[in-house]
Structure 1
Amino acid sequence: MKKRVVTAFTSAALLAGLIAGCTAPGDGGKGSSPGGTAPSPDEGSLAKKLRMVNYSSNFDKMNVNGFAYNLIKQKFNVDIELLPIPNDVNARKDAIFLKIASGEIPNTWSDLRFPDYNKLVREGAVAEIPEELLQKYAPKYMAWLKKHLGDDPFKYTRRDGKNYSMPIIWTLGPTQRVLGIRQDWLDKVGITKKPETLDELENALRKFRNDDPDGNGKKDTYGLTGRSDSLEQIFTSVFGAFGVYPGAFYEENGKIVRGDVQPGAKQALTVLNKWYTEDLLDPEFVLNKSTNVEDKVVSGKVGMVQDSWWRFLPREAFFSGLLHDKTKENNPNAKWTLLAGPKGPDGKQGMTQGNPIISSGVQFGKPLEKNRELMIRYIQIAEERSFNPQFYESLVYGEKGKTYRVTESGDFEYIPPYDKEEERIKFGIGEAYGTSFNDYDMQAPYATKSNLRQMRKDAEAVAKGKYDILAAVDMPEYFEVKDRLDQMTLKNYVDFIIGKRPVGQFDQFVDEWKKAGGAKTMEVAQREYDKTMKK
């Protein structure tokens, strides 16, 4: 009995899941081109109509017979079927693994974490994607990769000499996180200079706690809040003041170090314990999750928080604007100022940032090694959607003069009734059809209003710090102990901050960390850095 070929498309980065894969009617996904051979002259041709099965986590906002899909159908000579897939990253992963385990290997999937990617590669479920194929059919994609990752962009996804992925990179990651401070609170408590040092920040924290910055006559505000469920989020701006970056492997003088156990972490924890003891930190940081932090910031209970720079800007500056816009709903006078973090005694500054390799990227199922035509069509569509601004513009905005217009200042505006999301959904356009890869330079005219572009540029330039340079490297020995080490570190950090464990026992904690797998981890990290990163 012939196996049914299933196409899964799971990327949050790819938003709508427009292009999940194509199968020629009746061929069962088998194809005829043997894997590993050079493309036939006609393999890149669009003459043959292919059938596409698209899975979307935005299923309720998509219209398979609408404008954007019809553009893709016509331009790439495809038929399209649309199916839903869970939005939750773990549920999507489970759906992929279930299909593979049942023998119905999907044509393509994306955004798996690297341990899952490594597992599927080792099990032989993933098709090789020859680099020369991408050079031929996705030259703009390749240029973009090399611009941000160097001349060997596949060093993170190559396994045993073969590449199995189209990497998705997030160019904003290394300059993502900043410390947002309520400027209107600084004005209210009489601070006329942006706090730039630890001492100046501590002074602001004290005034935010004691001097009624929200003007309600109550002592019900705190200076700084955070989270204790993530090493990258646990007050890393304070750690950065001492030149250490929790949650990250990074290089110092040719040697790999782990920020969690560097001596500077003890100094940072000493400062945080002092602030906690003096009631300057939100005491509920121990219990906070992301939504708790947002609620406290938006409701005006805290005046400083570490987050992505774009969340402190108006939505029309760059997509999100969550903290800016919602804070203003509660207080129209609310204003934010951004800081890379306080400077420490040696002038060090920054916080843990994000690796630009945010996931393992896009993979193809093993059967596509023998159906090269199918793989090429996917690559062609991804190239066009992501790196042709005119095509992107049509998918998101529709027909110029009917669904949108361009203002004298160069801004893009939907024309009523398409300024309402429900009308865009019916017509089949909108952000859900947006780009597959994150070329923010290409997207800039569409993502940011002209009068806010300087604000965005200034905000983008604020962040400093280091990120985990080994996040995308295959280290099975480390992944076996990662969760245990992370939880051990978080628990001890919290205990040090709240005084449950004396900070003087930090060196003892480091010994415990090493014995729990940390020592072996550092050996593996150095080995993989020397093997992968120094080439």
Structure 2
Amino acid sequence: MLDTKWKPKGKSLTVLTTSVMAVSLLLSACVKSKDPESQDAGSDPQVDPSNPYKKHLEITWMGHNAIGKIYGETPMQKLIEEKFNVTIKPVPIDIFNQEQVNLYFADGKTADFIRLNGTLAGMSAIMDQGVFKEIPEETLRKYMPNWMKALEGMVDPKIVKSSMYYDGKLYSVPFFNYAQLQPWVMAIRKDWLDNVGISKMPETMEEYHEVLKRFTYNDPDKNGKNDTYGGHGLQLYLKGAFGIGAPDVNYYADKSGKVSATATTDNYKAYLKVLQSWYKEGLIDPESITDQRPQQRVKWSTGKIGVLADHPWWYASNTVGNLTKMLTDNNPNAKVEFFKPFAGPDGQKATGNIPFPGMQFGFGFGKDTSDEKIQRIMAIKDYFAADDEFWTRVFYGEEGKGYTRTPEGIIQVTPEYQNVDKTVAEGSNQYFALRPDTWEYQKKNIIYKVDMPAYDIAMNSPVVYNTVNFVTTSTNKAAAKSGAAVNTLVREFETNAMTGKLDIDKEWDAFKKKFLEVGGQAIIDEYQKQYDAVNKK
């Protein structure tokens, strides 16, 4: 039977700020401030200095679940409950199911701890419904100093402060981690390259084109059937080769400070023509237009595609359900390698699918959640940020069962805990233990040498950002109003252009005109104001 009593083996990690005396009452008794200017914890009427968790609280918890999984009572939950004198009630909802989430809140339901799958900007519709309780920034900084220090160690504090607000209000604890500093990379079947007679990774768009042709028509899996395509997510490096970010529309400021939409540029038009020609050649799976991530991964794992774009984390050997193991489980002879962004017509090269650094929606509190529950939840989450040992215990499970360490000190997840159903049953991983991890911690404790090639490419590649390439200080209301219509227009135009349903040259001017009319111009104008407000002399 799993021992749910966490027993520290050494000195806890403490990362303290000037306000930590107040926070120490909400952390463990062993964490003490040396700052004489810290506030007197006894001045807080809701906290007993001798026992900060004396009052038992019941907390409803909507955590970061594994895709499609529902959580119940778990051993990791009990660790937290015992340490912080709470009873946690997991909310039975899949946060990745947007329809399920919408219906939950539409019915008037809520939770004390709410983690949803979306950026702060993407959460605007739900925040506008009044689901979340507003948080004073001073409360956040008072009770979560370790969490905030981790964030501001990765991202400029000015960006942290500006991007965590929504229309001037703070509805969530901001979140960011090392993975969000890393763009996606492209994996490739090295065994397929060998089978089709290609000896090196593609370095130009023409060489990439040749790989796709051979992966489609030269029987790369040697099964005697014409049943493969080059890959999925083929556009990642291709867009980078034209200076375009991964989503439908991006708004970039040039060197002179003028903001424009990438979807109306000559580079985007040139990109569409390449995409159309490749589709005509049969190199792009028609189903990729509508495939979602589950369908994409089935095709990767069953050997139907030879190139796949994703974040390096998803290929890492200690990621539960990782893409490498997913493939080799079905084909032990498969070899996965990674290639750098290739050069486009003008020599430009870049990767993407990474937002300009800013704070994602971390977690919020239900509108009816009491202040004492908010403080207790903040204490729990801040302790995860402060104490690596406790975080490791909850995230990976019990040492010797959930993980072991290599002689170099790298955490090695045991085979049993690489199963998603097992981690759900244990309550390990991100459901409770989501925290702002730093790249320094990951390199020291998590990243295996075998996984570094993908991370090295990600960290050393030129990047084109999603949405904008500059700091914004508020929500773009024009984008909130018309962004969906603009994105739909661009997505439909790209799909019809790629599949040859329209003549790009003949329709180009009409497309640009319509883009501006349905809201593109208003969005550009508002982003220009935001850019000028931050960068004016």
**TM-score, normalising length: structure 1:** 0.78
Residue identity matched to 2:297: E
Matches within 5 A, 1:36-75: 40-45=43-48, 46-56=52-62, 61-63=71-73, 66=75, 68-75=76-83
Confirm or deny: 8 A CA contact 1:137 1:376 kept in the other structure. Answer: yes
Residue identity matched to 1:257: S
Q: Within the alignment, does 1:192 sit opposite 2:199 as a pair?
A: yes
What is the CA-CA distance between 1:143 and the residue it aligns to?
Answer: 1.1
- Equivalences, count: 479
Match 2:523 to one of 521, 524, 533: 521
Question: Gaps (5+ residues) in structure 2?
Answer: 1-40
What is the CA-CA distance between 1:169 and the residue it aligns to?
Answer: 2.2
Percentage of pairs with the same residue: 27
Q: Helix, strand or coil for the counterpart of 1:172?
A: helix
The CA distance in 1 between the partners of 2:303 and 2:420, in whole Å, is 30
Change (3 A) 1:109 1:532: farther
Matches within 5 A, 1:48-447: 48-56=54-62, 61-63=71-73, 66=75, 68-87=76-95, 88-99=97-108, 106-111=111-116, 114=120, 117-118=123-124, 126-152=132-158, 153-159=160-166, 161-226=168-233, 235-245=235-245, 246-253=248-255, 254-311=257-314, 313-316=315-318, 318-322=319-323, 324-355=324-355, 357=358, 359-367=360-368, 371-400=370-399, 405-412=404-411, 428=426, 430-431=428-429, 434-441=432-439, 444=442
Change (3 A) 1:60 1:534: same
Confirm or deny: 8 A CA contact 1:357 1:472 kept in the other structure. Answer: no
Confirm or deny: 8 A CA contact 1:244 1:265 kept in the other structure. Answer: yes
What is the CA-CA distance between 1:106 and the residue it aligns to?
Answer: 4.6
What is the CA-CA distance between 1:473 and the residue it aligns to?
Answer: 4.3
Between stretches 469-478 and 286-295, larger displacement belongs to 469-478
Change (3 A) 1:267 1:43: same
Confirm or deny: 8 A CA contact 2:188 2:308 kept in the other structure. Answer: yes
Per-residue CA distance 1:460-513 (angstroms, 9 max, x = gap): 436533222379941232222222211211111122122211121323311121
Confirm or deny: 8 A CA contact 2:478 2:526 kept in the other structure. Answer: yes
Q: Counterpart of 1:468?
A: 467
Change (3 A) 1:358 1:184: farther
Change (3 A) 1:389 1:190: same
Matches within 5 A, 1:449-460: 450-452=448-450, 454-455=452-453, 457-460=455-458
Q: Helix, strand or coil for the counterpart of 1:163?
A: coil
Change (3 A) 1:55 1:134: closer
What is the CA-CA distance between 1:243 and the residue it aligns to?
Answer: 1.3
Change (3 A) 1:69 1:285: closer
Confirm or deny: 8 A CA contact 2:164 2:360 kept in the other structure. Answer: no
The CA distance in 2 between the partners of 1:507 and 1:425, in whole Å, is 52
Confirm or deny: 8 A CA contact 2:61 2:88 kept in the other structure. Answer: no
Confirm or deny: 8 A CA contact 2:175 2:359 kept in the other structure. Answer: yes
Change (3 A) 1:243 1:122: closer
Confirm or deny: 8 A CA contact 2:230 2:305 kept in the other structure. Answer: yes
Change (3 A) 1:50 1:265: same
Q: Counterpart of 1:507?
A: 509
What is the CA-CA distance between 1:265 and the residue it aligns to?
Answer: 0.6
The CA distance in 1 between the partners of 2:54 and 2:520, in whole Å, is 55
What is the CA-CA distance between 1:391 and the residue it aligns to?
Answer: 0.8
Question: Gaps (5+ residues) in structure 1?
Answer: 1-37, 227-233
Confirm or deny: 8 A CA contact 2:177 2:438 kept in the other structure. Answer: no
Q: Helix, strand or coil for the counterpart of 1:315?
A: coil
Q: What RMSD in Å do the two structures reach over aligned CA positions?
A: 3.6
